[in-house]
Structure 1
């Protein structure tokens, strides 16, 4: 195969240049001798290309034809791990996306691949180098938002510590709801918070929003969840992280808690996209004049979400501060967020 022969002292600079151009054949090992380095090319470079390259800056460079040793390249995906083990048609049916929560992997495996689920699980275990692989075996359901999981490979241990943006979050994936796909969104909200704010995290789970905010800012947060396991892990996570702010973990129905404790805050987070609209009256009541609401909903656009906020807030004024599609939830539907100021 074709290769550049380059003096050793210039080889690293030329290699960097060729990597940027994507001209190095990465499936083969670069060769060296006493004076030169031989860099394998993945294409024949036309004369007009060679004429326009500043080759002289790297010394006496030649194009040679020689054999190279193949590199044992690690697979770049679970699908590559499965090549030769499953039919190509089956591999194509496997979804590319999967969730990694701490050292646990959660896969979605379609029904047509049921007979191959353990092979897929083992491939995921090797590719991700985590301790355990599970498969989603039900939708998220119930007021505590959990789903059934089937163990496929590695240890059958669903307890883990997840890290994102410097936060450490202990959780059991079988007992609580948690989505690593919201990490960027949680950081977006945390970046908007000002020192001294009072905040209500209405559906706090194990505390990913609250922990990140309290790590960054001196604030007071009421973090509520109806799942006792989630609140238990939230308390543990408060201890795991060095916080500037204060988090008050509260277990129970957020409607009752806000009403009984007469909670008033500057910012309310409503991360329960399937049912948050049912709690909008409570969210609005929790906000002081000029308070900010972060409302999440599954929808094709923002119209229904904005309408619901305005209806719940009436006769108070609503100013839309921002609209964002957080992530796709199904074909044609998104998890959207509306940031609104309630005056």
Structure 2
């Protein structure tokens, strides 16, 4: 496989409209409890009163009493207007303490509003962004059609409320190319997609527009790497910039043969090897995944490289189909690896294992014994990501003539239910 790398198109959008921050200046008419300064902590920590204390981002619920320096004001929630608005136990605590109810005017502005509060004031609640992926200084959002008219405002608010962010990008369409990168548009901030991510002590540098990266998988990266024995030999067939390979080499002292079809992924993998001080522990390859396994097996037969203890296949849209590369790849007397293959399923939870095993065994051409299935995350309401782990079964050994005609990554369609 080869060909020039298809560069991701960065569709720069017009400058987002200026947000009128002054419009968020407001005076809240609150009530407060007037208490001795030495008693503040007792009020804040009381489990019965705590639900009725003002909980607003960037606002302290304690204010000085303007008329007496020895007193403090414990601000109550906007819904509390009188003593009877408290629960019975909270009311009893206040009455026994001798605290007084006094009015208090709280001046709030844009700076005291959360991103969600600002967005709720500017757009329908259904359009408010409540979560997003961060990749270093980049925020990655997936906006629906009804959110697109507000994309510039959404980006501006995210940049204002998250000082660590400098760029906001919106995914345009689905991943539809062999390198697992997607079209995106910069909807806020600068267009610099060169970023650095830290994940459980490992550092990764890459251009988010050129390679695949998913910050939501960091827990899974750690789970699988923690399962490896110290010093084992690993093959990573779809390694990306190294989220499995780098920590396996750095934390578990593994030797990793790391392959990816995307030449830019391999470029950044090499950079991350140096960045993490693990030169010599990771051997990078830029091959089609089937070619990588076939050439590795030839080198193992001649003793040029060691046998693999584990093989990682993190290409969930189509990795199960690549299991056919192991048909007849090992002789009966050879050590066989443990395989960890990632996949999607749209089956109900009770049927997920049957669906995944059926597809895996069909590609492998043999039954799988004692599999382990781990649910990685829910991708969509009817789409889950799993990791299937199993030892390559004895029935899969044989001759290469038993294997079906091989297909390369670019020729394969991603999984659709």
With normalisation by structure 1, the TM-score equals 0.86
- 1:198-217 residue pairs with structure 2 within 5 A? 198-217=233-252
Q: Which residue of 2 aligns with 1:190?
A: 225
CA distances 1:2-33 after superposition (whole Å, capped 9, x unpaired)? 43333322323432335983221134652224
3-state SS, counterpart of residue 122 of structure 2 = coil
Give the alignment partner of residue 353 of structure 2, picking from 302, 314, 318: 302
Classify 1:19/1:49 alpha carbon distance in 2 versus 1 (closer, same or farther; 3 Å): closer
Q: Distance in 2 between matches of 1:254 and 1:19?
A: 60
The residue that corresponds to 1:265 in the other structure is 308
Which range moves more in the overlay, 237-246 or 274-283? 237-246
Higher relative contact order (CA 8 A, sep 6+): 2
State the superposition RMSD in angstroms: 2.9
Match among 7, 17, 24 for residue 46 of structure 2 = 17
Q: Which residue of 1 aligns with 2:412?
A: none
Is 1:7–1:61's contact at 8 Å kept on the other side of the alignment?
no
Alignment of 1:118-137 (within 5 A): 118-129=152-163, 130-137=165-172
Shift of 1:249: 1.2
CA distance in structure 1 between the partners assigned to 2:149 and 2:34 by the alignment = 51
Residue 114 (structure 2) pairs with residue 76 (structure 1): yes
Which residue of structure 2 aligns with residue 37 of structure 1?
A: 72
| Superposed counterparts of 1:266-285, under 5 Å | 266-282=309-325, 285=329
Q: Compute the displacement of 1:311 (Å).
A: 4.1
Q: Which has the larger displacement, 291-300 or 228-237?
A: 291-300
Count matched residues: 334
Cα separation, partners in 2 of 1:227 and 1:302, compared to 1, 3 Å: same
Long gaps (5+) in structure 1: none
Report the counterpart of residue 327 of structure 1 in structure 2.
377
| Structure 2 CA distance for partners of 1:93 and 1:5, relative to 1, 3 Å | closer
| 1:43-94 superposed Cα distances (whole Å, 9 cap, x missing partner) | 432444444x4997xxx542322314244464433x43334433x2xx5135
Query: Pairwise mapping of residues 212-251 of structure 1 onto structure 2 (< 5 A)?
Result: 212-243=247-278, 246-251=281-286
**Cα contact 1:94–1:110 (8 A) shared by 2:** no
Cα distance in 1 between the residues matched to 2:76 and 2:183? 50
1:104 maps to which of 138, 145, 150: 138
Change (3 A) 1:20 1:315: farther
- Aligned residue number for residue 102 of structure 2: 65
Question: Take 1:152 and 1:261, find their aligned partners in 2: how far apart are those partners?
Answer: 44
Confirm or deny: 8 A CA contact 2:357 2:368 kept in the other structure.
Answer: no
On the 8 A contact 1:18/1:24 being kept in 2, the answer is no
| Structure-2 separation of matches of 1:247 and 1:219 | 8
SS of the residue 2:176 aligns to: coil
Q: Secondary structure at the match of 1:261?
A: helix
**Distance (Å, rounded) in 1 between the aligned partners of 2:128 and 2:99:** 45
Aligned-partner Cα distance in 2 for 1:13–1:48: 15
**Structure with the higher strand share, 1 or 2:** 1
Query: How far off its partner does 1:164 sit?
Result: 1.8
Q: Tell me, in whole angstroms, the C-alpha distance in 2 between the residues paired with 1:290 and 1:8.
A: 70
For residue 237 of structure 1, give the secondary structure of its aligned residue in structure 2. Answer: helix
Contact 2:228–2:252 (CA under 8 A) maintained in structure 1: yes
Measure, in 1, the Cα distance between the counterparts of 2:166 and 2:75: 37
TM-score normalized by the length of structure 2:
0.72
